[in-house]
């Protein structure tokens, strides 16, 4: 089959993760930028392995892949009754959670599908199977719709001729479709604006050099890859008009956790008078945490620092550190672009509003006719309220 990636509102054929003909089809991120390859999954255990082996990455894409994994588990298991199926699904859910431990978005995605599966109104196995699949499809659609909305809102901040500095990877591969920070750049580009992107290579994963650059190349958006340490140089030289990054989590006071290296950019941007925006779906905002210090530091395997892609830079016994993310204090952040509006300080008031526009009341009125999400207040610029 021909894959016409990247998909767009007007053309294109494929999301990063999608249900296809009774299977789950996922773009294999490990092959990017060298090849655009897809893998088809018939078994939830293989999906768990794909998450573990980083075939699919990015909280949103992982969440949807795991959701489809559960839907697959429901179909592959020949259950004779509801309880038998639910017991089997508990096992599958545990395996899928363990594929990326501590991933809040993944856990929430699984919680949601399991709530659907266990809903009292569903008694027949075939009804449970159908509603689980519908629920994941709906979640994927919501994510994609939020991405497009963030794109529209954020693109208004990009002027014709601007150079945007970007860190990490925030594109379609990690977000099912379109992307967050890269989605904003893409929308501006599709609006006909001249946009140039300075792409932080984003060590140690090289996600910026590999994934962000590949996506920009595919979309025909002009870019240059730079070493992470060079970002300040280009800001100082007056070459950067705007910094756009994503976030794993945002908390009440506007602190955000994102790919390591983001904090430095925020400080450098403020020092050079350059606007610094975080682009993140409201689902990543956690108003129950008051500050970023409540997010414990996470250390990844230092082997990625010593030997990127298995190629040793230094001997294996050289100590190294690989922090999973860093924390950018809200005071350095000009604004947070969500699908419900661009949030400006004071964050502790306005981020809460942004999440209200996103709240999902769940399946209270039954899965066949899910309630509409609470209407988002009309908050294009939440900080203006």
List residues binding a copy of itself (CB under 8 A): 33-34, 167, 198, 200-204, 206, 209-210, 213-214, 217, 222-234, 236-237, 260-261, 263-264, 267-268, 271, 297, 302, 305-306, 308-309, 311, 313-315, 318-323, 326-327
Residue with tokens 């100082």: 236
Q: Which is nearer to a copy of itself, 295 or 381 (CB)?
A: 295
How far are the Cα atoms of 52, 107, 234 from residue 101, in angstroms, in the given order?
Answer: 10, 9, 37
**301, containing H or E segment:** none
Tell me the closest approach of the beta carbon of residue 27 to a copy of itself, in angstroms.
18
CB 325 within 8 A of CB 248: yes
Tell me the closest approach of the beta carbon of residue 215 to a copy of itself, in angstroms.
12
Tell me the closest approach of the beta carbon of residue 296 to a copy of itself, in angstroms.
11
Question: What residues contact residue 14 under an 8 Å CB cut-off, 6+ apart?
Answer: 3, 4, 5, 7, 25, 27, 38
Tell me the closest approach of the beta carbon of residue 5 to a copy of itself, in angstroms.
16
Tokens of 32: 């990017």
Q: Which is nearer to a copy of itself, 19 or 169 (CB)?
A: 169
Residue with tokens 């431990």: 101
Q: Which is nearer to a copy of itself, 1 or 311 (CB)?
A: 311
Q: Which is nearer to a copy of itself, 137 or 239 (CB)?
A: 239
Q: Which is nearer to a copy of itself, 102 or 222 (CB)?
A: 222
Q: How far apart are CA 266 and CA 261, in angstroms?
A: 9
Q: Which is nearer to a copy of itself, 180 or 259 (CB)?
A: 259
Tell me the closest approach of the beta carbon of residue 240 to a copy of itself, in angstroms.
12
Tell me the closest approach of the beta carbon of residue 249 to a copy of itself, in angstroms.
15
Q: Find, among 254, 333, 192, 174, the residue nearest to 183 by Cα.
A: 174
Tell me the closest approach of the beta carbon of residue 363 to a copy of itself, in angstroms.
40
Q: How far apart are CA 315 and CA 239, in angstroms?
A: 38
- ω into residue 377 within 30 of 0, thus cis? no
DSSP letter for 343, please: E
Q: How far apart are CA 29 and CA 131, in angstroms?
A: 29
Tell me the closest approach of the beta carbon of residue 267 to a copy of itself, in angstroms.
5
Q: How far apart are CA 114 and CA 362, in angstroms?
A: 12
CB 295 within 8 A of CB 249: yes
CA dihedral 375, 256, 9, 382 (to 10 degrees): 40
Tell me the closest approach of the beta carbon of residue 252 to a copy of itself, in angstroms.
19
Q: Which is nearer to a copy of itself, 129 or 306 (CB)?
A: 306
Q: Find, among 332, 371, 331, 335, the residue nearest to 354 by Cα.
A: 335
What sign results for the dihedral spanned by CA atoms 141, 147, 149, 152? negative
Q: Which is nearer to a copy of itself, 149 or 262 (CB)?
A: 262
Q: Which is nearer to a copy of itself, 186 or 203 (CB)?
A: 203
Q: How far apart are CA 341 and CA 73, in angstroms?
A: 37
Q: Which is nearer to a copy of itself, 88 or 234 (CB)?
A: 234
Tell me the closest approach of the beta carbon of residue 278 to a copy of itself, in angstroms.
16
CB 50 within 8 A of CB 100: no
DSSP letter for 344, please: -
Beta strand spans in 167-222 (E) = 195-200
């Amino acid at each position: 089959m021909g894959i016409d990636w990247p998909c767009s509102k007007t053309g294109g054929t494929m999301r990063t993760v999608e249900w296809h003909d009774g299977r789950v089809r996922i773009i294999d991120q490990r092959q990017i930028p060298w090849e655009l390859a897809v893998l088809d999954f018939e078994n939830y255990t293989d999906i768990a392995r794909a998450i573990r082996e980083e075939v699919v990455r990015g909280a949103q894409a992982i969440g949807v892949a795991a959701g489809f994994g559960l839907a697959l588990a429901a179909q592959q298991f020949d259950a004779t009754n509801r309880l038998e199926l639910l017991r089997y699904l508990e096992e599958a859910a545990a395996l899928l959670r363990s594929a990326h431990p501590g991933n809040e978005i993944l856990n929430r995605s699984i919680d949601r599908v399991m709530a659907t599966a266990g809903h009292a109104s569903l008694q027949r196995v075939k009804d449970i199977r159908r509603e689980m699949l519908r629920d994941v499809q709906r979640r994927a659609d919501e994510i994609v719709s939020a991405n497009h909305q963030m794109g529209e809102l954020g693109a208004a901040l990009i002027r014709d001729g601007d150079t945007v500095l970007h860190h990490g990877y925030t594109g379609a591969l990690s977000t099912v479709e379109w992307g967050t920070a890269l989605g904003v750049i893409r929308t501006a580009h599709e609006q006909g604006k001249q946009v140039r992107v300075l792409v932080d290579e984003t060590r140690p994963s090289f996600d910026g050099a590999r994934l962000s650059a590949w996506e920009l190349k595919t979309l025909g958006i002009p870019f240059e890859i730079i070493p992470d340490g060079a970002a300040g140089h280009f800001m100082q030289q007056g070459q950067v008009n705007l910094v756009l990054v994503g976030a794993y989590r945002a908390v009440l006071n506007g602190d955000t956790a994102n790919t390591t290296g983001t904090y430095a950019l925020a400080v450098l941007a403020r020092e050079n008078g350059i606007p610094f925006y975080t682009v993140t779906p409201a689902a990543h905002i956690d108003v129950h945490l008051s500050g970023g210090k409540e997010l414990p530091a996470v250390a990844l395997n230092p082997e990625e620092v010593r030997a990127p892609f298995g190629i040793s830079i230094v001997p294996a016994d050289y100590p190294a550190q690989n922090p999973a993310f860093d924390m950018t204090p809200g005071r350095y952040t000009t604004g947070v672009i969500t699908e419900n509006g661009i949030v400006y300080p004071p964050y502790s008031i306005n981020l809460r509003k942004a999440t209200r526009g996103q709240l999902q009341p769940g399946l209270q009125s039954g899965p066949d006719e899910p309630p509409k999400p609470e209407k988002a207040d009309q908050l294009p610029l939440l900080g203006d309220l």
